[in-house]
Amino acid sequence: MSIKLFNSQASMFCEKVRVVLALKNAPYEVIDVRKDERKSLIEYTGQRKVPSMNYNGECVIDSTVISARLEKDYPANTIYPEGTTNKGLCLALEDWSDEVLIHANHAIRRADTQEARQKAEAEWNTHFNTLDQMYAGRKFLFERMTLADISIFSQLHYLYTTVKYEIPAKYKNVNAFLENMRQTLKLKTLADSFDAPSL
Ligand SMILES: N[C@@H](CCC(=O)N[C@@H](CS)C(=O)NCC(=O)O)C(=O)O
C-alpha cells in the first residue's frame, strides 16, 4: 500500500486529512505542493486543489472523499459515530464546517477595511455561538472524536494559527474544545500544526 498526500502545511483541509491518516495509523508520504508550485499536483490530478492523494495508484481528490476512502480500507479507529442517524448528522456537520466555517475564515482573512473586519467578526460570533451550544457539556459531538470534530477543529485551528485570531474567552465551550483537541492530538501548543504520523 502506497499513500502519497499532496499537501500544503497551512491548508486546513490538509490538516484534516493528516489527522485522519494519523488516527488510522496509515503510513504515507508527503508531497509538498509549494516546492514545485503545484506542478506535480496538476500533472497527476489535472487540478490545483489540495488535499489530493495518490492512493495506491488511484487518484483521490477532496478531504471528504479521501477520508471516506481511508475509512473503507482502514475501518479500525472509525472516524464516524455509531448508527446510521448519527453518521448522517456527522457528515452534515462535516459539510457545514467545510463549506460554512471556511467562508468565515476567508472573510476574516481577506477583510481589508474596518467595516469588512467587523462584518467577518460578526459572522464568526454567530458560529461561535452555535459551536458553544454544540459543545456544551461534551468533549466531542458524538461518543468519540469523529470527522465532524476533526473538520471543525481544522477550521478553528486555521483561525488561530494563520489568521491569528483569538477566540473570545466568553465562548468557554469552544475554547475547551480546542484545548481538548490540542491534548488529543498531542500538540505542544495550539500554535503548532498537526503532522504526527500516528496518535
Ligand atoms: N472541499 C475541498 C476544499 C479544498 C480546498 O479548498 N483547498 C485549497 C487549500 S485550503 C486549495 O488547494 N486551493 C488552491 C486553489 O484553489 O487553487 C476539500 O475538502 O478538500
Preceding amide of 51 cis, omega within 30: yes
Q: Does 35 score more than 90 pLDDT?
A: yes
Averaged pLDDT, 23-48: 98
Calculate what percentage of the chain has a pLDDT beyond 70: 100
Q: Does 34 score more than 90 pLDDT?
A: yes
Q: What is the pLDDT of residue 162?
A: 97
Name every protein residue with a CB atom under 6 angstroms from any ligand 1 atom.
11-13, 48-51, 62-64, 98
- Ligand 1 mutation target, pool 12, 50, 93, most atoms within 8 A of CB: 50
- CA 7 – ligand 1 centroid, Å: 10
Q: What is the pLDDT of residue 176?
A: 98
Phi, psi (deg, nearest 5) at residue 36: -120, 30
**According to the 3-state scheme, what is the secondary structure of 98-114?**
HHHHHHHHHHHHHCCCH
Tell me if residue 88 falls in helix, strand or coil.
Answer: helix
- Ligand 1 mutation target, pool 13, 33, 99, most atoms within 8 A of CB: 13
Name 154's Cβ contacts closer than 8 Å, sequence gap at least 6: 12, 13, 15, 16, 19, 97
pTM for the model:
0.97
Ligand 1 atom with the shortest distance to the CA of 49: 12
Could you tell me the pLDDT band of residue 9, with boundaries at 50, 70 and 90?
Answer: very high
pLDDT tens-digit readout, 57-96? 999 999 999 999 999 999 999 999 999 999 999 999 999 9
Beta-sheet strand order (sheet of 3-7): 29-32, 3-7, 52-55, 58-61
Averaged pLDDT, 100-104: 98
Averaged pLDDT, 146-169: 98
CA 8 to CA 23: how far, in whole Å?
Answer: 19
Calculate what percentage of the chain has a pLDDT beyond 90: 99
pLDDT tens-digit readout, 111-135? 999 999 999 999 999 999 999 999 9
Q: Does 110 score more than 90 pLDDT?
A: yes
Q: Does 196 score more than 90 pLDDT?
A: yes
CA 156 to CA 167: how far, in whole Å?
Answer: 9
Q: Does 32 score more than 90 pLDDT?
A: yes
Which has the closest alpha carbon to 161: 196, 187, 197?
187
Ligand 1 atom with the shortest distance to the CA of 61: 20
Averaged pLDDT, 93-109: 98
Q: What is the pLDDT of residue 1?
A: 85
Cell of 30: 508527503
